[in-house]
Amino acid sequence: MLPLSVLQKAAGEITSFGGAGQSVMEISHRGGDFKPIIEGAESLLRELLNIPPNYHVLFLQGGGMTQFAAVPVNIAGVEAAKEKRNCTYIDTGVWAAKAASEAGKYVNVKIPASSKDKNYTCIPDAPAPSADDAYYYICLNNTIVGTKWHKLPETGSVPLVTDASSCILSEPLDVTRFGLIFAGAQKNLGPAGCTIVIVRDDIAHNAPSWTPAMLNYDIHIKEKSLFNTPPCWCIYIIGLVLQWIKETGGLAAMQKHNSEKAALLYDCLDNSKLFKSPVEKSSRSLMNVPFVFNIEDAEKKALLEKRFLHEAALAGMVNLAGHRLVGGLRASIYNAMPVEGVRALISFINQFEKSA
């Protein structure tokens, strides 16, 4: 969900941006009209996240899944194909597992902790990295199962790497705790098509010579994210969203806003007899709230889910189906979702329970 004010501003400028007589989708990324767009977006992101000067900010393409390969290649890639460095991955769900699988093509992946045996309903205890680890990888917020790292693992001198796609800018984040953060735009930042990478300088220039150019951070840093034609429209929308966050009160205000929404919804589920949250309270996400019917009969549960989604859609509430891999129901309450939207869902849940 994008802020209404952002959509309205973009709509007003869609045929002519800043008096240029062209849409952002038409202007040249090499021209003077686009430079303030990308530079402004980076400046706002640095301000909101308090990103230190020894970190680079990149606006790339390929989604988070491209970073599953780019991260090991850039941080731990070696010139000799038969040599592989060790890296630690903590398995907290589908996206962490996919990242580990992809990384295994380039590094020796170790998975010392996993919550798979608990259906990924919690964040496992994370052991310290080995001294020879090139990096330590976590998925900060797990959209499918609705879990989040509320306490970061201690990794010492080993760079901590995270996929923050679904929780970036939802609350304050200490960038200095990480060697690298990447995030797809399509949750809290803007439309799909752009992936932001925030990478510390000491690990940003180590890609081996065989690295494909489009995966090489060093090239993108030197070209200021303009090595190839960037997703101009997406970067423009990201800039508007960042401005909206700043005007709303910054990340402290976002945290308060998101915590209120999540608390209301979890309280509703915890006090329901028909629904329940499958996630352990200490690991619950502020962004993604899966919930299921608290009944054993699989056939009856399937019929109720179908009815719930149908009636919710009639009431104006959509995208409440759980991920296809786990089923059930799920409410994603990203930054732009107002409290009123969550209250409407709670009202619907209560009404449905009475009529079920």
pTM of this prediction? 0.96
Least confident of 19-23, 127-131, 208-212, 296-300: 19-23
pLDDT of residue 139: 98
Say yes or no to pLDDT of 338 above 80: yes
Q: Euclidean distance between the first and final Cα of the chain, in Å?
A: 29
Burial annotation 55-86 (CB, 10 A radius, 16+ → b, else e): bbbbbbebbbebbbbbbbbbbbbbeeeeebbb
Residue count of the chain: 356
- Report the SS3 class of residue 126: coil
- Residues 268-284 have pLDDT tens digits of 999 999 999 999 999 99
CATH number of 4-248: 3.40.640.10
4-248 and 251-355 in the same fold: no
81 pLDDT above the threshold of 70: no
Topology of the domain comprising 251-355? Aspartate Aminotransferase, domain 1 (3.90.1150)
Cα 80–chain centre separation: 33
Domain residue ranges of the chain, discontinuous segments joined by +: 4-248, 251-355
Question: Sheet holding 329-332: strands in order across?
Answer: 275-276, 288-293, 329-332
Mean pLDDT of 196-220: 97
Active site residues: 95, 163, 187
Q: What is the pLDDT of residues 8-63, one digit of tens each?
A: 999 999 998 887 788 898 888 988 889 999 999 999 999 999 999 999 999 999 99
Percentage helix, strand, coil for the chain under 3-state DSSP, each rounded to 5: 40, 15, 45
Average pLDDT over residues 240-258: 98
What are residue 89's DSSP bridge partners? Answer: 137
